[in-house]
Structure 1
Amino acid sequence: MSTILAKLPIEMREDLKAPLGPIYTDTDELLAEAGDPIVAVGDIVTYHLLEADRRPDIAIVDGKTKRERVEREVLDAIDGFDDRIDVVNPQSTITDDLLEALASAVGRSASTVIVVDGEEDLAAIPAVLAVPEGGSIVYGQPDEGMVLVSISDETRARCRDLLERMESDYERIAEILAP
């Protein structure tokens, strides 16, 4: 049974609309700027990276885009990872299940897809804390493109602040994601 460690309060939704990095519409341009490892959050972002011949080291997907099921070709493309971890993560939350899968996947040499039963929308925030410096998180900005987050002290501080302001058990989150 997964435990919710962070819940997004309604009053914080506006805070998450500002992207954590630059927005790209061209996948090749994004990949030219991306570090290693790459974590993709979202089915469509993962699909675009795969179409550009770059399998993300970690992909976090939920089979949906804008709360609708993704097309079969997207699901089929996402099926080719070395490892798969299934987790439960309800809408507008971050669970220990998701965080433990993320922490586990970061330490693997095999490409890993984390398949979320629920919603993966907030996963980019803890991913910034879990991925080593030099890595990148890529997530979708609805109707705009793909956001590239380069891991730095600044992006980590911003994500730590977001998590601490949520209804969260930040100490437990940090404990799970600690290298």
Structure 2
Amino acid sequence: MLVLPSEHRGLFKQPFGTLFPEFSDIVPMISGRMLCTVGDVVTHSALSRGIIPAVGVIDGLTMRSPYLEMPEISQHILHVKNPAGTITDELVETLAEAVTSTPCVIMVDGEEDLAVLPLIGLLPDDALVIYGQPNEGVVLCSVTPELRQRADYLLSCFVRC
């Protein structure tokens, strides 16, 4: 299990990709590309528009409160435990399984926010990852070798327990 030390939490305040105020702003950019969502609100935003993410990662919460608006999920659902501030080996294995059996939703018991980092390492070039930036909007990441490098750097800030 990887644990994020408190002194490195500030590294995760800045968007990891391009920040857009609304989900609707990114809809024209995602057509024809592999799309993965991390977070209940962005996953709901995609599904409610008929956009089926290859992988959707949710935890049933938004900003630590229950998220009750999720439409019914008809995709294959995987379950995994991942405590807040961590990336468990089980989460990484489940993400890898999901990427090879799309479309798939991963329901996290714990917190899903940090799943963006290992997910980027598992996706092909040009895939998209979307996640919410609380009180700011939606972040769109296009997977590139440079983005993988940045994800690897951030992963190196974690401590293995």
TM-score by length of 1: 0.85
- The separation in 1 between residues aligned to 2:158 and 2:37, in whole angstroms, is 23
1:31 is matched with 27
Asked if the contact 1:27/1:52 (under 8 Å) is kept, the reply is no
- The separation in 2 between residues aligned to 1:135 and 1:64, in whole angstroms, is 25
1:174 is matched with none
Deviation at 1:166, TM superposition (A): 1.1
- The separation in 2 between residues aligned to 1:121 and 1:29, in whole angstroms, is 22
- The separation in 1 between residues aligned to 2:27 and 2:127, in whole angstroms, is 12
Is it true that 1:134 corresponds to 2:126 in the alignment?
A: yes
1:177 is matched with none
RMSD: 1.4
Asked if the contact 2:23/2:42 (under 8 Å) is kept, the reply is no
Query: Cα gap change, 1:57/1:81 in structure 2, threshold over 3 Å: closer, same or farther?
Result: farther
How many pairs does the alignment contain? 160
Is it true that 1:53 corresponds to 2:50 in the alignment?
A: yes
- The separation in 1 between residues aligned to 2:65 and 2:75, in whole angstroms, is 26
1:64 is matched with 61
Deviation at 1:36, TM superposition (A): 2.3
Q: Which runs of 5+ in 1 are unaligned?
A: 170-179
Is it true that 1:7 corresponds to 2:15 in the alignment?
A: no
Q: For 1:104-143, what aligned pairs fall within 5 Å after superposition? A: 104-108=97-101, 110-143=102-135
Aligned letter for 2:153? D
Is it true that 1:144 corresponds to 2:136 in the alignment?
A: yes
Deviation at 1:97, TM superposition (A): 1.2
Asked if the contact 1:91/1:119 (under 8 Å) is kept, the reply is yes
Asked if the contact 1:28/1:52 (under 8 Å) is kept, the reply is no
Q: Which runs of 5+ in 2 are unaligned?
A: none
- The separation in 2 between residues aligned to 1:115 and 1:7, in whole angstroms, is 20
Is it true that 1:92 corresponds to 2:85 in the alignment?
A: yes
Aligned letter for 2:130? V
TM-score by length of 2: 0.94
Q: Percent identity?
A: 37
Deviation at 1:22, TM superposition (A): 0.8
